[in-house]
Amino acid sequence: MTWLSLHIMPTPTFTARCTSYRKIAHDVYEFTLATPQGFSFQAGQFVMFQVPLVESRSDVQGRAFSIASAPSEPELLFVAKIKQGGRAGRWISEVLTVGDDVLFQGPLGNFTLAPKAQEQQLLFLATCSGVAPLRSHIVEALHQGDTRPMDLVFCVRKDEDLFWADQLSALAQAHANLHLHLTLSQPSSSWKGHTGHVQDVAEEVIGNLAERSIYVCGGPEMVKAVRIRALEQWKIPKERVHSEDYV
């Protein structure tokens, strides 16, 4: 989840130090936190950052961010698409820096992989920062020795919006069961990859999707469209269609 304010039940609060911070696309930032002692999570979960208002640090509100790293990785990885003028966007682009201590609650959420015995082939569909929990799913599944076929269709709008292409490509090259399909919805004339919507690309590159278990994360309209396609056209049982959206 990204940018979403939630009313949540009391959960543990942790302090973590920012260990890296960088801009990875024209409006996308990546940062890592040292994993606090006592904190653990499942792949696909999120945390609620305590985000201060830039003009008044005592004015704090919660904002949800999916954890992009896997539980097996040493640090917590996050990625954020900046919403201009937004509280979280300003905090990340104007305030956050290496060495800062960050407060968060968590882990939260149930967008986690179902037990391996219940599923066969996996399909991951993401737009922009919705790739965060799916990266966590994939890295952890591969770390655990999961050899099921996995396809990741990752879509952004334009060439300059694309991030993690090299990282995800290297992961796919290292694991024969993982197939990456980078996609642009508004490509330049020089783009050589897939174009269009994630659900259309999935049909194009995979074909029969009825036996897949699907994990989809992105904007609400995209998630709704994929769920409708999966249930009505691909005939996938609803218990195998897992989704999370952000606003």
Per-residue pLDDT of 123-173, as tens digits, reads 999 999 999 999 999 999 999 999 999 999 999 999 999 999 999 999 999
What residues does CATH 3.40.50.80 cover in the chain? Answer: 116-245
Q: Is 9 helix (H, G, I), strand (E, B) or coil?
A: coil
Q: Which of 156, 178, 169 has its CA nearest to residue 222?
A: 156
Q: What is the model's pLDDT at position 118?
A: 61
Helix (H) or strand (E) holding 90: helix 87-90
Structure tokens at 226: 């994929």
SS3 83: coil
pLDDT (tens digit per residue) in 54-82: 888 788 899 999 999 999 999 999 999 99
Please give the backbone phi and psi of residue 60, each rounded to the nearest 5 degrees, phi first.
-120, 135
The owner of tokens 């996938």 is 236
pTM over 0.85: yes
The answer to whether the beta carbons of residues 63 and 74 sit under 8 Å apart is no
Rounded to 5 degrees, φ, ψ at 204 are -65, -45
Residues of the chain within CATH 2.40.30.10 domain(s) are 2-108
Pick 116-245's CATH classification: 2.40.50.180, 3.40.430.10, 3.40.50.80, 2.40.70.10.
3.40.50.80
pLDDT of residue 207: 84
Closest residue by Cα to residue 131 from 71, 67, 200: 67
Helix (H) or strand (E) holding 231: none
Give the model's pLDDT for residue 5.
Answer: 45
Give the angle 227-144-239 at the CA atoms, nearest 5°.
25
CATH 2.60.40.3080 fits 2-108, yes or no: no
Give the Cα separation of 195 and 147 in Å (integer). 28
